[in-house]
Structure 1
Amino acid sequence: MAVAGTLYTYPENWRAFKALIAAQYSGAKIKVLSSPPHFHFGQTNKTPEFLRKFPVGKVPAFEGDDGFCVFESNAIAYYVSNDELRGATKETAAEIVQWVNFADSDIVPPASTWVFPTLGIMHYNKQVGGR
């Protein structure tokens, strides 16, 4: 049975895209709350109600229709995935986790120093590699 629930994030959060892509391939039914009045980043995620569900207040955060709550984009993507995306064997699953972690640790940081300044997310500073 496909997962259903709500993804809390802010507009165009590239980390949330991981979960949304996994959900699309798996048939999960995800409602996205990313803008006022339903979700206001920096406010909604600091409320006592939100923090009871997601103690560190980070987004993206996912609340299943069954009440299960999880944060961190890779964990959410894993949860909303089907067996085909997770890996049918322990070995395949380990390889998938390996490449997801490799992307987060070895591809995202250097790519961010190139891409984020072009998007206006952060200013390029040659002395600290784009930060």
Structure 2
Amino acid sequence: MLMLLLCIELFLPGELYPARAMIGIASNPLATQANVKLVCKALKALDLYVVLEYWLTPSAELADYVLPVASWLERPFCYGDLEHLILSLLEKKLYFPHSLENTIVKQITKSFVELALDLVKKRIGLGKI
């Protein structure tokens, strides 16, 4: 928690190398950090704030972009550890011929992290790299 609060101070104007963008994944700094006024000021000072979240939290309301994330029930994988294994039994619903899969599916199934990083790069002037 202390590390996040130190990072929050980097977002404030006047720092030598202020952070200009942040990607938050399933976090709500306004509810989890002690100095709410400082956190709110820091989040508002960002050039770009992207949130990947299940719900529209108070921190997500300050974001430039809110991207929905899938819960463990919506993903066709196994989750857990050695003691608790959870298996999601979802089937693949989209079927494409091999030739279409290489062109269309890869374009429309870009991961949220790739999308968020592209948004950050575009916002700070780097474009797509």
Under a length normalisation based on structure 1, what TM-score does the superposition of the two structures give? 0.24
Higher Rg of the two aligned structures: 2
Structure whose residues are more often helix by fraction: 1
Under a length normalisation based on structure 2, what TM-score does the superposition of the two structures give? 0.24
Higher relative contact order (CA 8 A, sep 6+): 1
